[in-house]
Amino acid sequence: MPLQIFTNISSLNSQRVLEKNRSQLGTSISRIASGIRITKSADDAAGMAISESLRSDVTALKQGARNLNDGIAMVNTAEGGLSELAGILIRLRELASQAATGTIGQTERETIQLEFEALQSEIDR
């Protein structure tokens, strides 16, 4: 009894094309579901490289923005300190002017001197 093998070439071709289309459909559904045109590097290697480069740039720019905000906060803090220092210096000038007049007594001068020294120590703090 001879063994006979039958093949249906057109059926095999149809199955191959069907499987290829099924694979492409899966890829398309994956892209639609994720909302991303490139889901893996095999989709578009050059596009993926550009995308990763841009993603890196965005990350660097975000960090730069955070650094700028930190710098602004630091400058605002320094400005507040300098403003306070300016107020103290103005008060020291007023006290020096008061102490230089001849119309105040020794007790007032001592009180002015105490306030002056307290303000000086505040500057050094």
pLDDT at 86 over 80: yes
Residue 82 lies in a domain: no
Question: pTM of the prediction?
Answer: 0.52
Encode pLDDT of 28-60 as tens digits: 887 777 767 666 666 677 878 888 899 999 999
The number of domains in the chain is 1
Q: Is the pLDDT of residue 124 over 90?
A: no
Q: Give residue 33's domain range.
A: 7-37
Classify residue 30: in a domain, yes or no: yes
Q: Is the pLDDT of residue 27 over 90?
A: no
Distance from C-alpha of 54 to C-alpha of 47, rounded to nearest angstrom? 10
H/E/C letters for each residue in the chain? CCCCCCCCHHHHHHHHHHHHHHHHHHHHHHHHHHCCCCCCCCCCHHHHHHHHHHHHHHHHHHHHHHHHHHHHHHHHHHHHHHHHHHHHHHHHHHHHHHHHCCCCCHHHHHHHHHHHHHHHHHHHC
The answer to whether position 116 is within a domain reads no
Residue type present at position 29: I
Q: How does the average pLDDT of the chain come out, rounded?
A: 87
